[in-house]
Amino acid sequence: MPSSGYTKGLAAKLRTDVGEGDIGAEVRGRDFFPYRPYHLGPAPSRPALARIANAVQRVLASGRYAGAIWTQGSPRIEETVYWLQLLVDTTLPICGNASQRPHGQLSNDGDKNIVDSVDYIVSRVWADESGRNRAGVVLVQDQQVFAARDVQKADARPGGYVATGGHGGILGAAGWEGPAVLNYLPATRHTYLSAVNLTRLPAEVAGRLAGGETRVQIKDGRGDLLGSAIPRVTIVKDGNYTADDDDEDLAREVDLLAQIARNLAAHPLAGFVVEGLSPYGRLTSAVRTRVMRRAAFSGMPVVLTGRGNAEGFVPPPAVPFIGGRNLTATKARLLLMACLMKLGSVPAAADPDRPTAGEIEAVGRKLREYQDVF
């Protein structure tokens, strides 16, 4: 998903090597995604996540490389490196790099970050006794090595990245005098250990539409992830003083009700992430809780996270919700998308507003599979 294109198009062989069959002139917003000027800067669509995962998986499986460096704009890279950590089945290191100052600006930092990633990869400080990557995907910025799961851009300046979740996230250093060093290792699963990597994803799963259960194809005949399989997960921001008055009316939540209806009409793999109170992700509004329960009992898993960069762990809540642990809402969204492609949608109740005891138990069994991954 490059930030610039070629005026005459790429050679056919290059396009074929990355799995793209449409040969011809490149189109802005489909083949390349410029950052500037801002009014001409389209962001990649959700199906692009399949293209990213397939391309990186194919490159690293070729046996030609010691590792990989993924470069991207500074506000976007935190999500992409976490997606690579979840989806790519490789024992090789992957480093992310961004630049807070563009080329031509005084003290551009991007080149230094790339060199530091090269140093990190060739140092093999990431390798365990069997030569496998033990650190997962990392973001190498400003001579710090961040775990992909925990890194977030906080400010538009060198040094503007922070570790989220309150329990580490900076694994070591690269680019200082001497070789790269790791002082800490993540305990979370990643890449070849990930429960939702490309190898572990099934060919198809059960989805849910208004008419009932349907089958959703996840991979094509070659084992590549399909862009059409990428689920639709909506982030809901909840805050205090949400209700219009003391008499809360379910019908007033028109945006959430419309999204639920849209999901049932067009998105058989769909879910929600609710950013609630810090640190346990609780919703403040009784009516919003009812709406999210309706979503969950309609087949759409709902994850609760804390507000912003919460330092607590959202524990496994009561059915029908999933605890997002100490993930931010944006990272929980990506993990839920991957889980939907691995586990499929949750069972739906005949009446989502009044599920039976048996239906609640069936949903709970399915959600425990999700909770195990989270």
* Domain spans, the chain: 44-192, 202-373
113: helix, strand or coil = helix
In the structure, what pLDDT confidence band is assigned to residue 244 with cuts at 50, 70 and 90? confident
CA nearest neighbour of 200 among 328, 342, 93:
342
CA nearest neighbour of 273 among 290, 295, 252, 258:
295
What mean pLDDT comes out for the span 38-50? 89
* Residue-level pLDDT at 26: 76
Residue with tokens 């400080």: 125
Better pLDDT: 293 or 12: 293
254: left (phi over 0), alpha (psi -120 to 50) or beta: alpha
Bridge partners (DSSP) of residue 322 are 303
- What the block records as the tokens of 116 is 């530091």
Q: What is the CATH number of domain 202-373?
A: 3.40.50.40
* Residue-level pLDDT at 12: 45
Residue 24 has pLDDT above 80, yes or no: no
In the structure, what pLDDT confidence band is assigned to residue 17 with cuts at 50, 70 and 90? very low
- Tell me, which fold does domain 44-192 have in CATH? Rossmann fold (3.40.50)
What is the pLDDT of the chain when averaged over all its residues? 92
- Distance in angstroms (rounded) separating the CA atoms of residues 85 and 70: 12
Degrees to nearest 5, angle at CA 210 with 206 and 214: 25
